[in-house]
Every structure is written in structure tokens, then in C-alpha cells.
Homo-oligomer: A and B are copies of this chain.
């Protein structure tokens, strides 16, 4: 994440017309390593004590890529120190922390300090275009939404135990790590708010090898939830880290009365759009290669058809954050947006822990072995 954020800071001004800034200090735990990283990624200095950096007058913006459990402390301190703050998702590991951060952001905002949460996929040009089309009414009334985020890096049962697989450090598994992106997209694309959910979690591989022997995995490998939104919309979200062969497949489908959209992050330069108001004879999902100057963010990039990569979702994020700071207009997604996503995650988890949601099939029979 630090590499991706640094890349964005290093390049944003070469493509976009943004206020001038300097890449000042990279902060990390190990002095030697962070010095090397600073040199490699374009930072003028490095440091190991984030508190002392917050005290510096020549620092205006703080970009937090530390693990989730450190977000609250750093972000609140930074906001109180009068810095603009960008924080990686998820906002925090607990609702209480997320609420405190949101309060701090509101207070700081009233004093002119901006804050933003890094749901970078809002800056995928194809998804930004999707939001435009939905907002313009091109899908009519949206009803049914489907989202799934499928990865496979935990498919191998011998893949070792890490902090990401312990509830106390990671909060949750596929749910918080990747379903959170899908949930944010659902709210972002539709402009609606999730009200209710029914969720299920599953850990397929219950134990994994640790440095001192086998350990219990205490977070989910996969998560499922149905979601009900304002505007009488409904849909589902599914996340898995054991979907063998799916590398980074965030798929989103939005169905409305007048049209539909589908998207897959593995083809992030493409948006599929169906206009149901066209004559039936010529309806079909069209693959829009979102690489034209007319598309969000694309005017800054390469000639048409010369696709951009995943990292530039961060470049666009920094661009928008810098402009928001400059214009004094609160950027989106806000900490409130991050908090709302975490409330949904908490509700999914509460639902999943409610055993009464599960209904047994009466007298399930073995599959027949006929011809």
C-alpha cells in the first residue's frame, strides 16, 4: 500500500493540474528500511516517529497506510494537529474507533481540515462512469444489485498463518478486507444507503501452519450477505479468498428498469452497459473501453485504447484529495462513508452470528446414482 500511495504522490503532478506540493517524509518502524524506501519511492526524508512528524509546521497532509488498528490514533492526532488526513480503508478495526475518527474529522472539517478514506475503487474510471450513468438516470430505477469480490490467495491450505487470519488483529477476513470495497461500491454507485442485511460467514480452512505449530484461523475465508437499501433496492454481496483462479475479481452488476451495468476489476478499463430503452432488436451489453478523453480522469492519460493500470486509482485519489484541499470542498468518500461501511460489516457479522438464520433441509437425501 505504501508503494502504491507513494507512486501516486510521485506521479500525480505529471499528469494532473494539481496544487504544488512536496513529497516530504516517509514514516516507518525500521529506520534503515524506511530510509531505503523513502529514497526508492521519491520521499525527501524518512522518520520513525510519526508523532514528531505531526508536530512539524512544514507538514500539511498526512497519508496513513499503517495497519487498521493504528488508524484511529494517528488520524485523530493528525486532525488535531491541523493536518489534512487521508486514511486507507478500512477506517478502523472497531466501530468505536471509527466513530471517534468520524467525530474528529467533523470537528477538523469545521476548521478547514479535510479528510478522506481510501476506497480507491471509486476512482476506477469505469466505475466513476458507472456512477455518472446511474446518476443521470440511464438505468431508470435501480432495483437489483450484485457484487462479488473473489480472490484465491488462501486456496492453498498450507499457506501459513498471518495476522490477517486472526480476529484480534484483522477484525474480520474476506468480509472486512474485500467485501468492504464491494459494499462501498454498492452505496457509491447507487447513491443509496444500506439499511438491513442477512449474512453468513465461513472459514473453509480452520487451521493453518504457524511458526510454532498449527494455529486456528479465527476470521472468515468467505462471506455472503443480502442487502436492502433505501430506494427499495436489494441485492447481494459475496467475498471469497479461496475462489481458485480468481485473482482480483471485483464484479459488480446493477440492474434497473431502463438499463444495466456490469464490471470486473480484472478488466478495469472496461464497463459493460445495456440500454434497455433501445429497440429490443439491437439491445445488448456494450463493452465500453473507458479510455477516451470524454471519460472520467482519462483526459490526463494516454491515447485511446492505451489502457491504464490499477495503481492509477490511487493517482486519481490523490488528485481529488489535493483539489478538495485547495478548494475547501469536503472530499468523498468521507470518514462518515467509511463509518457507514463498517456499520454494514458489523451488521453482517451480527447476522452471521445469529444461528437462527440457518434452516435445515428436512431429510436431505444423498444424490442418486442412476444412469
Contact = CB atoms under 8 A, between A and B. Distances in A.
Nearest to A247: B305
B276 A282 contact: no
A332 B302 contact: no
Contacts of A42: 14
**DSSP class of A's interface residues: helix, strand, loop or mixed?**
mixed
A272 B343 CA distance: 37
Interface in A318-371: 320, 323-324, 327, 329-334, 336-337, 339-340, 343-344, 346-348, 350-351, 354, 356-371
Interface stretch (A72-80, A150-158, A164-172, A207-215): A150-158
A332 B371 contact: yes
A369 B332 contact: yes
A292 B155 CA distance: 15
A6 interface: yes
A24 interface: no
Q: Could you say how many copies of this chain the assembly holds?
A: 4
A242 B292 CA distance: 17
Contact of A304 (B248, B265, B285, B366): B248
Contact of A357 (B286, B344, B354): B354
A121 to B, nearest CB: 11
Given A273-B282, A279-B294, A360 B244 contact: no
7 contacts: A14-B42, A195-B360, A245-B276, A245-B284, A249-B305, A302-B311, A329-B371
Interface of A: 3-4, 6-7, 10-11, 13-14, 40-42, 95, 129, 133, 139, 143-144, 146, 148, 151-153, 155-157, 187-188, 191-200, 202, 204, 222, 224, 226, 228, 230, 232, 234, 236, 238, 240, 242-249, 253, 255-260, 265-268, 271-276, 279-289, 291-292, 294-295, 302-312, 320, 323-324, 327, 329-334, 336-337, 339-340, 343-344, 346-348, 350-351, 354, 356-371
